[in-house]
Chain A
């Protein structure tokens, strides 16, 4: 089973600042990493899929990079509407495994 270690668990930034979230996997997963946003009371929303592919309709301030075991998710110019929990998900092998999540707050 591939373990996904996500950091930080929480962060607080001012609007306009940059957010960086990291996920490290215990096995090489190529570029099979996905990133989800979950707002309170809502289901997760897919933002970025395998191959660091931004999903249609997702603002370009969201991006990701990484290959192998080290992956980074970035929000440029954070807006108040970005307050949410963020999760990475590896889809290289079963069982699919999520990172522990990052809670983003705005100062």
Chain B
């Protein structure tokens, strides 16, 4: 069955870096893109962008350009989200979500979410 398993919760200080992993199984990793979605505490869902798992090309929503980076380890069917120079407002749960195509569509399967807390 299709599964996306994310890494565990993180507690970081402002200015630090965090890297979240999302390991996929049950399908051919490079046939479907991977999206990243942010959910701040008590808030709604916000699309951060996605990465073409075939070419490795990332696309970022405007609010997530600069400190955010999507990457892949294709041999391990794993996608990564790295956030640099963490700020308090980065405190949120981050979800990876499989795209329905390799060129960008909507999300069908989701990871369980990774909680990131940024606090001094």
Choose, from A17-25, A59-67, A68-76, A86-94, the stretch at the interface: A86-94
Q: How many B residues, CB 8 Å from partner? A: 22
Among candidates B59, B106, B111, residue contacting A89 with C-beta atoms closer than 8 Å: B106
Instruction: Determine chain B's interface SS by DSSP, over half rule.
Output: strand
User: By the criterion CB–CB under 8 Å, are A49 and B45 in contact?
Assistant: no
Known: A43-B95, A43-B111, A43-B112. A96 touches B106 (CB 8 A): yes
User: By the criterion CB–CB under 8 Å, are A49 and B108 in contact?
Assistant: yes
Instruction: Determine chain A's interface SS by DSSP, over half rule.
Output: loop
User: By the criterion CB–CB under 8 Å, are B110 and A87 in contact?
Assistant: no
User: By the criterion CB–CB under 8 Å, are B110 and A91 in contact?
Assistant: no
Q: How many A residues, CB 8 Å from partner? A: 24
User: By the criterion CB–CB under 8 Å, are B45 and A98 in contact?
Assistant: yes
Binding site for A on B (CB under 8 A): 35, 37, 44-47, 49, 59, 61-62, 95, 97, 100, 104-108, 110-113
Binding site for B on A (CB under 8 A): 32, 34, 36, 38, 42-46, 49-50, 55, 85, 87, 89, 91, 94-101
